[in-house]
């Protein structure tokens, strides 16, 4: 799919506007790598995989691996029928539990082509244009990301927050590993040694004005 997307631009079948984004298009699609599809978030599309438990341990097949106890399906009912057929049991013999993880947000973005081609309902607005929006970066040019711990809450800019308050957020709200959390804390101490002073709502207005300049990247505007 990535190769076809690259060729579509090279042959002129697909046109990227403005054209200087073509380089970014090639960089992403010509250097794609394996990607972890699961996320531990409270929102998103749940992974359609179900773990099979046997209500009677005696009914569980011998030598079956943990991996083999997973089945997938468009619904729990479909997955249940697959499990019944796979393990040659009855509905009363098993219980299914859906994976609690959700698919990466990129998967949600991947649903967009279905809308373009008319599923579930065809609309004319999607027939021609695809909007590519800029990304927000920090003072060092890195994309603001929860996994990097460099996201700043706009309310902290409006109301102000101490360095201790910023670092407390890392402990309370972050799912980062210890080493990543420490790296993020060091970055906060370097960038905001006195915390963030109260800037009021004018800071937000300034940020929105900078965003509306239609640049490719919006950097830190403090």
Please state, in angstroms and rounded to a whole number, the distance separating the CA atoms of residues 24 and 27. Answer: 5
Would you state the structure tokens that stand for residue 109, as one six-digit string?
């973005």
pLDDT digits (tens, 9 = 90+) for 101-128: 998 888 877 777 777 777 777 777 666 6
Looking at residue 165, what is its pLDDT? 92
222 pLDDT higher than 70: no
Looking at residue 216, what is its pLDDT? 53
Please state, in angstroms and rounded to a whole number, the distance separating the CA atoms of residues 50 and 75. Answer: 10
pLDDT digits (tens, 9 = 90+) for 58-96: 999 999 999 999 999 989 999 999 999 999 999 999 999
pLDDT-derived band at 174 (thresholds 50, 70, 90) equals low
- Is 196 in contact with 156 (CB distance < 8 Å)? yes
The pTM is what? 0.47
Residue 31 burial (10 A CB sphere; 0-12, 13-18, 19+): exposed
What residues does each domain of the chain span? 1-35+117-131, 49-98, 146-217
Q: Kindly report which listed range (12-21, 107-116, 211-220) carries the lowest average pLDDT score.
A: 211-220
Residue written as tokens 């990535």? 2
Please state, in angstroms and rounded to a whole number, the distance separating the CA atoms of residues 202 and 218. Answer: 17
């Amino acid at each position: 799919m990535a190769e076809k997307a690259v060729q579509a631009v090279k042959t002129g079948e697909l046109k990227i506007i403005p054209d200087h984004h073509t380089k970014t298009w090639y960089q992403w699609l010509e250097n794609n790598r394996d990607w972890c599809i699961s996320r531990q978030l409270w929102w998103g599309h749940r992974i359609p995989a179900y773990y099979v438990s046997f209500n009677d341990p005696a009914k569980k097949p011998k030598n079956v691996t943990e991996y083999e106890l997973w089945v997938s399906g468009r619904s729990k009912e479909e997955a249940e029928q697959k499990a019944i057929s796979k393990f040659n049991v009855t509905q009363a013999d098993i219980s299914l539990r859906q994976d609690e993880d959700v698919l990466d947000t990129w998967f949600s973005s991947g649903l967009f082509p279905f809308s373009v081609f008319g599923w579930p309902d065809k609309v004319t607005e999607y027939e021609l244009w695809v909007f590519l929006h800029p990304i927000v970066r920090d003072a060092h040019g890195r994309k603001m990301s929860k996994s990097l711990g460099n996201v700043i809450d706009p309310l902290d800019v409006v109301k102000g927050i101490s360095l201790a308050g910023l670092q407390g957020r890392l402990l309370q709200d972050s799912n980062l590993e210890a080493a990543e959390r420490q790296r993020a804390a060091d970055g906060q101490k370097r960038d905001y040694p006195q915390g963030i002073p109260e800037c009021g709502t004018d800071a937000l207005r300034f940020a929105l004005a900078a965003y509306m300049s239609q640049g490719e990247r919006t950097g830190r505007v403090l």
